[in-house]
Amino acid sequence: MKRSNTFAVRPLTHDDEQVLRDLLDASAALWNETNYQRLMRYNDEDGFKGGVWDADTGRLEGKYKGVLGASTAQQVIGKNTEAWESFFTLKDQYHDESNTSVTEHPEPPGFRGNEDDGRVLKGVIRKDAYTVEWGERSRLEIVVGETLRDRHNSPNSRLRMEIVGDPNWPDYEDQSRLELWYDETESTFRASQPVTVSDGTRDTPLASEKAALDIGANNLVACTTTTGQQYLYEGRRLFDRFRQTTREIARLQSKLEAGRYSSKRIRRLYRKRTRRRDHAQEALCRDLLDRLHEDGVDTVYIGGLTDVLETHWSVKTNAKTHNFWSFKKFTERLVCTAEEYGISVKVRSEAWTSQECPQCGSTDRTTRHQDTLTCPCGFEGHADLTASDTFLRRHTEQTVRPMARPVRFEWDDHNWSGLPRSHESPKEQRTDPSTVHPDGNVASGESA
């Protein structure tokens, strides 16, 4: 499996920091010169890709290898080559009438700023030109060119720096090239280390149970399993904080002088908002999959929202799910994390599951008010948990056991549940049982 360790990098001295800055600045300059030559040839050839590869990259490599080292200079040029290849692939897909995945004409690779404005300090290091050591004093060593060797504290051609934070994947089989950049909004250097880890870091599930997820706006995830378990992850508090940050960003943008569109403070708020959401997503995926793995679930069904949004979702709900919760990103994260547990994720249509009465099957007579779904036939239950139950029964042939009392989780900025499931926690509140379902119970729950 392909995974990535992302961590902060801390130069040991001021001289080391300057060496790293010079290294990344030279990487950005090499990228820009390579990209400029290729862009000029692309324009001269009226968009013909053949001319792009005629750029004299060998001369550019020789120009910058004194600072970067030959291996790193080659990696920067190679990274630019990959960007151009990706551009041509997207361009071909755009002009292919049978392909509807690319709807806007792609643009050629861009530049990484200029020296006066402050380049985007970003570079790549070949897989055999750096080493990472994890432990009490984790460290990173990277190769630098001859021009920089006498200006830092490490012997030979390697710059030694501290690593801040613990790796997600310390035990890996192989590493790919390292990406380094300067995070302007947090004034720190960061690195991303792609690694290959063994498939199935946990034992495969001991049973073949199924689960279905209903992705919502106020309740982020409602889950029902064939074992009769139900889990509800509440998101109102997270959304309120997202909205507060968004309002503060808008307020700061309104005070910018004409011609300006952002500031360091605004960029920092955007980054903080995204990281807060990503942290909650990652924690939710792991908390939920831990529980599903324990329940013996080997397959999770998740809804594809395209048909749902076209039929009955409101604009406000759409904004919550896509702008705040980022449904696509959450699905990708769930698939990636589930792979570690040996659990497969299947996307299926969930159209009308939020309106369907589990007792009589009606979709046009039901009424939803906040978290409650009611039907004239007498059914009343928690709307999202009912939807996940209906979704599960629609896509599995297995018998769904009678529902246990559902568990509701709240986010405390660090965890979705503070204590093991066998204990009652303030953040792990039990909801009330619902009216009886023909095959069991579906929770009505509290209004979150």
pLDDT at 260 (0 to 100): 84
Q: For position 187, what pLDDT does the model report?
A: 81
Higher per-residue confidence, 194 vs 1:
194
Percent residues over pLDDT 70 in the chain: 84
Check pLDDT > 80 for residue 58. Answer: yes
What pLDDT score was predicted for residue 292? 95
Give residue 427's pLDDT: 43
Whether the predicted pLDDT of 26 surpasses 60: yes
What pTM, to 2 d.p., does this model score? Answer: 0.66
- Sketch the domain layout of the chain as residue ranges: 2-196, 209-235+273-441
With a cut of 50, say whether residue 441 has pLDDT above it. no
pLDDT tens digits for 188-208? 899 999 988 776 556 667 778
Q: What is the SS3 string spanning the chain?
A: CEEEEEEEEEECCHHHHHHHHHHHHHHHHHHHHHHHHHHHHHHHCCCCHHHHHHCCHHHHHHHHHHHHCHHHHHHHHHHHHHHHHHHHHHHHHHHCCCCCCCCCCCCCCCCCCCCCCCCCCEEEECHHHEEEECCCCCEEEEECCHHHHHHCCCCCCEEEEEEECCCCCCCCCEECCEEEEEECCCCEEEEEEEEECCCCCCCCCCCCEEEEEEECCCEEEEEEECCCCEEEEECHHHHHHHHHHHHHHHHHHHCCCCCCCCCHHHHHHHHHHHHHHHHHHHHHHHHHHHHHHHCCEEEEEEEECHHHHHHCCCHHHHHHHHHHCCHHHHHHHHHHHHHHCCCEEEEEECCCCCCCCCCCCCCCCCEEECCEEECCCCCEEEHHHHHHHHHHHHHCCCCCCCCCCCEEECCCCCCCCCCCCCCCECCEEECCCCCEECCEECCCCCCC
- Looking at every residue in the chain, the average pLDDT score rounds to 83
Share of the chain above pLDDT 90, in %: 40
pLDDT given at position 31: 95
- Of 38-42, 54-58, 118-122, the one with minimum mean pLDDT is 118-122
Most confident of 25-34, 99-108, 275-284: 25-34
User: What is the per-residue pLDDT for 251?
Assistant: 93
Residue 39 scores a pLDDT above 70: yes
pLDDT tens digits for range 361-420: 888 889 988 889 999 999 999 999 999 999 999 999 888 998 888 999 998 888 886 433
Does residue 153 carry a pLDDT above 90?
no
